[in-house]
């Protein structure tokens, strides 16, 4: 037996259906045009493998860097309320809403060879970031960090602080409390944050191409390879796109508990 409910107005149903079409059509288009017989050959083409391998390396490194820097930041943001925290939270959120290309341009000005930070970095340490794989990692970290920070901060805020109090009365200092109680108790948020940050890094395009360029084998990640291939061999672009779709879908599948709790 179903509970009685008011029927939805037809106009709304039609609009909702339109939204579903808008979301589904690109996927169907991709499946429809995929050259299945040549798919494996395209993926295992050495330049494509290079792009895939570079993408994996850089996105994993970016996710780890985001964790290393983002976890302490999230902990600080969650540790109270203040004007400074509110300001920093805006700063954290900015890369989420900023067009990635703008982020790339801004990064070039900051970390470029003549940049605010990049200049001294090169003069004193001989470190150059633009147009290197490290540059890719930095650009990806820039766009992935907000996802990690906000997810982990949410986890920390919903953590019952009395557990931390209990740990302290048992003789645990702040560092042990953080390591042995806080971290295990927010493990689901950490996992989710890491996964979205990694997915965001894997898909990064705008900031990467602007800041790190499009050098095959060095900075040409999967999204850049798709974009490049679209001009020369559209079939390859389609197959690579499909690979990225599959990866994204797999991430969503892993996150289904956190994001789509069963009703």
Partner 1 sequence: MTMDLHLDVELRRERLLLRAALQVAAGETVAVVGPNGAGKSSLLLAVAGLLRVDRGRIALGERVLDGGPDAPFVPPEQRGVGVVFQGHLLFPHLSALDNVAFGLRSRGVARGEARNAAARWLERVGLGAVHHGAKPAALSGGQAQCAALARTLATEPSVLLLDEPLAAVDASGRLELLRELREHLRRFAGPRVVVVHDIADALAFAERVVVIENGAVVQDGAIDELVGRPRSTYVADLVGLNGFVGVCADNHVRIGDVTLTVATPLRGDVLVTIHPRAVALFRERPSGSPRNVWTARAVDFEALLDRDRVRVRLDGALSLVAEITPAAVADLRLRDGGEVWVAVKATEIGVTPR
Enumerate binding residues for partner 1 (CB under 8 A): 162-163, 165-173, 176, 180-181, 184-185, 187
Residue 20 CB partners (closer than 8 Å, separation 6+)? none
How far apart are CB 185 and partner 1 at their closest, in Å? Answer: 6
Residue 257 CB partners (closer than 8 Å, separation 6+)? 188
How far apart are CB 63 and partner 1 at their closest, in Å? Answer: 23
Measured from the CB atom, is 133 or 182 closer to partner 1? 182
For 181, which DSSP code?
I
Residue owning tokens 């805020």: 157
Measured from the CB atom, is 190 or 222 closer to partner 1? 190
Measured from the CB atom, is 128 or 185 closer to partner 1? 185
Residue owning tokens 């300001």: 87
- Please name which of 159, 164, 140, 174 lies closest in space to residue 64, comparing C-alpha atoms: 140
235 within 8 A of 32, measured Cβ to Cβ: no
35 within 8 A of 235, measured Cβ to Cβ: yes
Any alpha helices (H) in the chain, and if so which ranges?
10-33, 36-43, 46-78, 83-97, 100-111, 118-125, 133-157, 162-169, 174-177, 183-185, 187-203, 206-211, 222-232, 234-254, 256-259
What angle, rounded to 10 degrees, do the helices at 234-254 and 46-78 form? Answer: 30
Measured from the CB atom, is 83 or 162 closer to partner 1? 162
How far apart are CB 167 and partner 1 at their closest, in Å? Answer: 7
Handedness of CA 229, 232, 234, 235 (dihedral sign): negative
How far apart are CB 160 and partner 1 at their closest, in Å? Answer: 8
Measured from the CB atom, is 7 or 173 closer to partner 1? 173
Measured from the CB atom, is 33 or 176 closer to partner 1? 176
Tokens of 13: 């149903």
Measured from the CB atom, is 7 or 171 closer to partner 1? 171
């Amino acid at each position: 037996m179903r509970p009685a409910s008011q029927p939805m107005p037809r106009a709304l149903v039609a609009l909702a259906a339109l939204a579903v079409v808008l979301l589904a059509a690109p996927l169907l288009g991709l499946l429809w045009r995929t050259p299945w017989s040549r798919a494996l050959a395209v993926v295992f083409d050495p330049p494509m493998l290079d792009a895939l391998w570079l993408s994996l390396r850089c996105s994993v490194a970016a996710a780890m860097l985001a964790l290393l820097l983002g976890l302490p930041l999230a902990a600080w943001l969650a540790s109270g309320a203040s004007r400074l925290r509110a300001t920093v939270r805006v700063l954290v959120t900015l890369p989420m809403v900023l067009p990635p290309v703008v982020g790339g341009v801004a990064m070039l000005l900051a970390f470029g060879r003549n940049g605010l930070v990049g200049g001294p970095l090169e003069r004193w340490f001989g470190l150059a970031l633009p147009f290197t794989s490290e540059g890719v990692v930095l650009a990806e970290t820039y766009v992935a960090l907000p996802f990690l920070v906000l997810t982990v901060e949410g986890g920390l805020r919903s953590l019952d602080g009395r557990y931390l109090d209990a740990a302290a009365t048992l003789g645990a200092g702040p560092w042990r409390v953080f390591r042995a109680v806080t971290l295990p108790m927010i493990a689901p948020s950490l996992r989710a944050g890491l996964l979205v940050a990694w997915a965001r890094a894997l898909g990064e395009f705008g900031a990467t191409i602007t800041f790190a360029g499009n050098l095959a084998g060095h900075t040409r990640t999967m999204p850049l390879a798709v974009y490049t291939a679209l001009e020369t061999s559209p079939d390859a672009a389609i197959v690579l796109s499909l690979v990225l779709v599959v990866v994204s879908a797999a991430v969503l599948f892993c996150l289904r508990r956190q994001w789509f709790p069963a009703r």
